[in-house]
Amino acid sequence: MATASTAHKWKYDVFLSFRGQDTRDNFTRHLHEALCHKKIKTFTDNNLERGEEITPALLRTIEESMISIIIFSKNHASSPWCLDEMVKILECKENFG
C-alpha cells in the first residue's frame, strides 16, 4: 500500500523557505550550496519577482518538494510572504505526511 508521500511525484527534494534580506547571502547560500554539492535537488526563490502576495507557482513548488526547511531569522515572522509559505508547508505536511 502506497502512502501519500510515496505516491506523490516530487520535483524537488528540498524547498528552502527563508527571509531573503536576513539570510540569502550568508546561511541560506551556504546551505543551498552544500545540499546541491550532495546532489540534493533544492529550490530557492532567488529568481522570483518580489511582490505583496505569494504566487500560485511558488505554492505549487512547495507541493512538489519532498521536504521543506524553514530558516527562521530575526525578521522572518514580519514577512507576509514567509508566513504564507509556512501555512502552505504545514498544509502539505498534513496532506502528504
Burial (CB < 10 A; 0-12, 13-18, 19+), residue 5, is middle
| Active site annotation includes 64 | no
Which of 13, 16, 11 is CA-nearest to residue 29?
16
Question: Which residue spans within 1-97 are E strands per DSSP?
Answer: 12-18, 42-43, 65-71
Catalytic residue among 49, 53, 64, 85: 85
Active site residues: 85
